Amino acid sequence: MPDPAKLPFLLKLLDDESLVVQEALALELSSFGPSLPEALERLPFGLEPEQKEILFSLLGDHQRTLLQKKWKTWQSLEGTPAKLEAAYRILSDFQNGPFHKADLSRLLDSLTEEYRAAGETRDPYRLSQFLFRKKNIRGASEDTYYDAANSNLVYVLESGRGLPISLCAVYLLMGARLGLSIGGCAYPGHFLARTVLAGKTYLVDCFHGAQFMEEDVFWDEHASEDEALLRDDVTAEVWMQRVLRNLHEAFTRSGCVKDAETIRSLIEQEVRD
């Protein structure tokens, strides 16, 4: 546990221009986690506006560095659900920052236990109704659609709003906990989930209230030259590339230049590899 008594001495180093000192300071301050705001409030002195700006800039830079260091770790895991959950956890930790207490895996575990406790049968249709009807998790509104938070699964679970691909991720990760096979269809412009029910393959539009569509019928009505490719579940790598592109656009639109540049570096890294 970090010692609040050290905080006044740590804050004196905010003006130190040494890169080594700044990196060490960011690490120490980040170790306070969600308790840092309260610890700052208890100080016998207040921070000047310039000091607060330096502090939050320092922590932001630290979060971006951690994201870049941790990003590739999920790729060594086995299975799409494990990879996706690890990748989304890294992104949510980055987006939430050190002050947010919620953990993605624990939120998903809790929601799964709620589903089990309700006595629901383990099938993909019942799960979709639980998530997107009973729990009312649904698509982001038009005026907030390009908010970066809609790609943050912690935010999605807490607010009940998200992008199509984010809602599909919740559906897949919940399904994995229940032993259900759910995949993703990277349909251009509108990500869909894919599952099998009673021997038939269905595409599921999680964004619009979990509409189930027989896949063969869907392709008859939405012909695409890429149909053969789109009939295969996307890999975790392709899935997260799409998430990164969504995040890059969101950060760019909102003027978060440093965050946009960091996400772009991850996209370029994946392309190189």
The CATH architecture that domain 78-234 belongs to is Roll (3.10)
Residue scoring higher pLDDT (251 or 271): 251
pLDDT tens for 30-81 read 877 777 777 777 777 777 777 777 777 888 888 898 899 999 999 999 999 9
Contact 230, 181 (CB under 8 A): no
Provide the 3-class DSSP secondary structure of residue 189. coil
Q: For the chain, give the percent of residues with pLDDT over 90.
A: 66
Q: Given 1.25.10, 3.30.60, 1.10.3210, 1.10.10, which CATH number is that of 4-68?
A: 1.25.10
Residue scoring higher pLDDT (72 or 23): 72
| Residue ranges of the chain that CATH labels 3.10.620 | 78-234
pLDDT tens for 136-186 read 999 999 999 999 999 999 999 999 999 999 999 999 999 999 999 999 999
Alpha carbons 225 and 217: distance in angstroms, whole number: 16
| Residue ranges of the chain that CATH labels 1.25.10 | 4-68
Rounded to two decimals, the pTM is 0.87
Contact 165, 205 (CB under 8 A): no
Cβ neighbour number for residue 171 with a 10 Å cutoff: 24
